[in-house]
Amino acid sequence: MFDVNALYAAGAIMDWDQQTMMPKGGAAARAAHSGILSRMAHERFTSDETARLLEEATNEVALGTEDAALVRVVRRDFDQSTKLPSAFVEEKSRLSSEAHEKWVQARETDSFATFAPTLEQMFSLARQEADYYGWTGHRYDALLDCYEEGWTAVDVQNMFGTIREPMVRLVEEIRERGQSTDAVGLNGTWDNNRQRKFSEHLIHAIGFDTDRGRLDTAPHPFCTGWSVTDIRLTTRFKDMIGSAIFGSLHEAGHGMYEQGSPLAWDRTPLAGGVSLGVHESQSRLWENIVGRSLPFWRKFLPELHANFPNLAAFDVDTFYRMINQVEPSLIRVEADEVTYNLHILIRFELEMALLAGEMQVADLPEAWRAKYQQYLGITPETDKEGCLQDVHWSMGGIGYFPTYTIGNLLSFQIWRKLTEEIPNTDDLIAVGNFAPILGWLQDRIYRHGRYYTPKELVLQATGKPLDANDYLAGITAKYRSVYSL
C-alpha cells in the first residue's frame, strides 16, 4: 500500500505545483506525467496481488478492530477502482491536467468558447465513469457516491427541498425589514504581502500547524496534501479584503482535519477525511461559525486595523455586520451564508442536465445566466463571473458540488453539539483560545480519519443523523440578530 500511496502522493505534488508554481509552458508535459502516474497507481492498486492480500486480510481480521476498518476502507476503494479500466484512469488524469490550464486561460480571457470543447470531453468521461461504476436511478448517483458515500441525487433534491423555502423567506425578511448594511468599505487596494502575513497569522492562531503545512496562492483556493506532516493550503488576493482572510480560514479548516489523523495511520487509507461533506463541514465551521463571529473580531480587528489603517473607521459591531452582509452575488466562494446554497443548487441542476444529455455544453453560459436570474435575481455579465468561475469541472470533479451544502448543514449540527459540551465558546474565541474547540473537534472527528463510515461518524459525533434542523435554527437566529429583525 505504501508504494501506491507514494504514486498518488507524487501525483498530488505535481497537481499542487501546477496550480501554484508551474510555468505555463509545462502544461503538456505535466498532463502526460499525471496520466502515466495515475495509470501506474491504478494498475498497482487493482492488481491480482492486492486482491489476494485483501482476501487473506478479510478472513483474518477481528471485527471492531483497526485492522478491520482498514480492510473495509481498502475493500471499498478496491471495488470502486477495479470498475475503471487503467486506460480510462490515465486518460481522465491527462485530460484533467490539460483542462486545468485551458480553464485558467479561458477564465483570464473570459473566453468560454476556448474551454467548451475540453469541458465537453470532461462530461463525456464523466458519463463513461458513471457507467463503469453502474447506476440505476441517475448517472449522477454513481459520481456523487465517490465523494459522499451512500448519497444519491434524490437525497440531494430532498435536502434542497428542505432548506430552499426557509432560506428564501429569510432573504425576503432581511430585504424587507432588515437594518441596512453597506460593505463597500471592504473593497479597495490592499497590499498582498500584508494580506498574506495576516492570513498566515489567523490560520496559525486557530490551530493550523505551520510546521506541517504552508499557505500559497492559486487561481482558485484549495487544500491538498500527501502526508499528515505536509498539508498545503492556497488562497487568493482580490479587491475585497475578506477574500484572502476567509478563503484562508476555509482552507485551514480542511487542513486541520487532514493534520488531525493519527501519525500511525500516515500514508495509509485510514488517514484523511472520511467524505467531502464532512470535510466541508470543517472548512465552513472555521470560516463562518468561528471566523465570521463577533467574538472572533473582538480579538483580531485591532490587528487588522494595524495592518490596514483604511479599515480603522469601522468598529467591531459595524465590521461584523459588513462581513455578514446578505446580498445576492455572482461568485460562489465569496457568497454570504444565507444565499450560498443557492449557488450550489444551480451547479447541481446544471450538472444533472449535462450528464443526462438534456443540455449541451455550448448552452451552459446562457443556462447559467438564466438560473442566476431565477434563483438570485442577478445575471453575470461575463462568463468569468459565470460558468468559468469554478475549477471543479476542469478537474473532473463532477458530482462534487452537493457536498458543500451537506457540509454547511453538518457544520451547524456539529457546532450545536460542541457548544452543548463547551458552553463558553464565545469567551474562548474572544481571547483567542481556540485549543478547547480544536481539541473537541480533534477528539470527535479528526482523529478518526476513515475509521468509521461518514454516517457512523456523524451519528457518533453529534448524536443523530444529518438533518437540516440545526442549520436552519442557527442561520436564522444569527441573521435575524445581524439585521435586527
The predicted-structure confidence for 390-415, as pLDDT tens digits, reads as follows 999 999 999 999 999 999 999 999 99
Determine the Cα–Cα distance for residues 363 and 244; give it in Å rounded to an integer. Answer: 32
Determine the Cα–Cα distance for residues 324 and 233; give it in Å rounded to an integer. Answer: 24
Whether 140 is covered by a domain: the verdict is no
Same domain, 235 and 382: yes
Whether 141 is covered by a domain: the verdict is no
The confidence score (pLDDT) of residue 164 equals: 92
pLDDT at 170 over 90: yes
Report CA-CA distances (Å) from 102 to 28, 224, 318, 400.
11, 21, 41, 20
Residue 181: band (very low, low, confident or very high) from pLDDT cuts 50, 70, 90: confident
Determine the Cα–Cα distance for residues 143 and 212; give it in Å rounded to an integer. Answer: 32
Whether 128 is covered by a domain: the verdict is no
Whether 284 is covered by a domain: the verdict is yes
Tell me if residue 217 falls in helix, strand or coil: strand
Domains held by the chain: number:
2
Q: Please state whether beta strands 230-235 and 213-217 pair in parallel, antiparallel, or not at all (unpaired).
A: parallel
Q: What is the DSSP string of 393-456?
A: GGGT-TT-THHHHHHHHHHHHHHHHHHHH-TTHHHHHHTT--HHHHHHHHHHTGGGTTSS-HHH
Tell which of 55, 84, 110 closes a domain. 110
Q: Which domain holds residue 42?
A: 2-110
- The pair phi, psi for residue 468, each rounded to 5°, is -95, 0
Same domain, 90 and 179: no
Q: What is the pLDDT of residues 29-76, one digit of tens each?
A: 999 999 999 999 999 999 999 999 999 999 998 888 999 999 999 999
- The pair phi, psi for residue 406, each rounded to 5°, is -55, -45
Whether 242 is covered by a domain: the verdict is yes
Report CA-CA distances (Å) from 61 to 6, 67, 78, 403, 431.
25, 6, 17, 32, 47
Whether 275 is covered by a domain: the verdict is yes
Confidence (pTM)? 0.95
Whether 323 is covered by a domain: the verdict is yes
pLDDT at 2 over 90: no
pLDDT at 220 over 90: no
Quickly tell me which residue has 497507481 as its cell.
Answer: 41
DSSP one-letter code for 61: P
Q: What is the DSSP string of 156-180?
A: HHHHHHHHHHHHHHHHHHHHHHSPP
Q: What is the pLDDT of residues 283-295, one digit of tens each?
A: 999 999 999 999 9
Which position among 101, 148, 200, 251 bears the catalytic label? 251
251 is catalytic: yes
Same domain, 310 and 234: yes
Whether 429 is covered by a domain: the verdict is yes
Same domain, 175 and 284: yes
Same domain, 157 and 264: yes
Tell me if residue 235 falls in helix, strand or coil: strand
Same domain, 56 and 198: no
Mean pLDDT of 193-213: 97
Mean pLDDT of 120-142: 97
